[in-house]
Structure formats: structure tokens, C-alpha cells
Amino acid sequence: MNVILSIKPKYCQKISEGVKKYEFRKKIFKANTDWIYMYSSSPVKKIVGKFTVGNIIEDNPEFLWKNCKEHSGITEMEFFEYFNGVKNGFAIKIENVKMFNPINPEKIIPNFKAPQSYCYIKE
């Protein structure tokens, strides 16, 4: 099974540059995944690359920041604004990044709707 994650364009860029090595989420997909496809949200609205999942850390935001900030690709303010009011979150280790020419998902996935956070897809 594969997953599409909605990611802001500036963070997709940081992932492609190798600066952002963790993707942070309040909720996480449940199935084992082969690939995470990066849907670059508005204004891009395209699938721009994919990566595999390394380790997934679940803990409180303070612990996640302390242990992942060096490779977070975001500011401390952005991090804590995102996790405001959340007891536990997830840090997904990004590995094996493969960027490609942006793909309009509406052309390859019937009735595609951009996921709020993530959605499952078949290869």
C-alpha cells in the first residue's frame, strides 16, 4: 500500500534538498507503506516526488522537537504552532527521496481529491 501526503510546497522543496529529513504529523496512516507520495499543496497541486519511511517516532511534541529539530526543516515556532494543543505527535523519518516531474493527480487517479492530511492509494 502507498500513501499520498499533502505537504506545503516550501517543505517539499526542503525535502528535495535533503534539509528536511522528518515529516511531522498529528495523525498517522495505519497500514504498512511502500512509498509516500508527496502532494505539493496549493498553489502547486501536483505530486512532485516520493520517499520511503524510515523510523516513525511517536511522542509528545517537546520530545519530538528535541530529538528531530536538527533535521526538521522547519522553525521551532512553526513546529509548536502545528502541534499546539496536541498531546502526542509523529515524526516520520524520510528516506530514499525520489523527485520527478510534477504529475497532475487528477489525470492518473479517478475522482482525485487532495487529502486533508493523507490518503491511501494503490501503485
How does DSSP assign 55-94, residue by residue?
Answer: EEEEE-HHHHHHHHGGG--S-HHHHHHHTTT-S-EEEEEE
Query: What is the band of 121 on the pLDDT scale with cuts at 50, 70, 90?
Result: confident
Mean pLDDT of 80-98: 97
Query: Which strands form 89-103's sheet, in the order they lie side by side?
Result: 22-25, 89-103, 46-59, 36-40, 2-7, 118-121
- Pick from 11, 19, 28, 24: which is nearest to 120 by CA? 28
Q: Is 43 helix (H, G, I), strand (E, B) or coil?
A: coil
* Residue 63 reports pLDDT greater than 90: yes
Query: What is the band of 123 on the pLDDT scale with cuts at 50, 70, 90?
Result: low
Domain 2-121: CATH architecture, name and number where available: Roll (2.30)
* Residue 3 reports pLDDT greater than 70: yes
* Residue 93 reports pLDDT greater than 90: yes
What residues contact residue 107 under an 8 Å CB cut-off, 6+ apart?
none
Higher pLDDT, 108 or 11: 11
Mean pLDDT of 49-54: 96
Average pLDDT value for the chain: 95
Structural contact between residues 61 and 51, judged by C-beta atoms closer than 8 angstroms: no
pLDDT of res. 32: 83
The structural domains of the chain, with segments of one domain joined by +, span 2-121
* Residue 51 reports pLDDT greater than 80: yes
- Pick from 54, 27, 50: which is nearest to 39 by CA? 50
* Residue 107 reports pLDDT greater than 80: yes
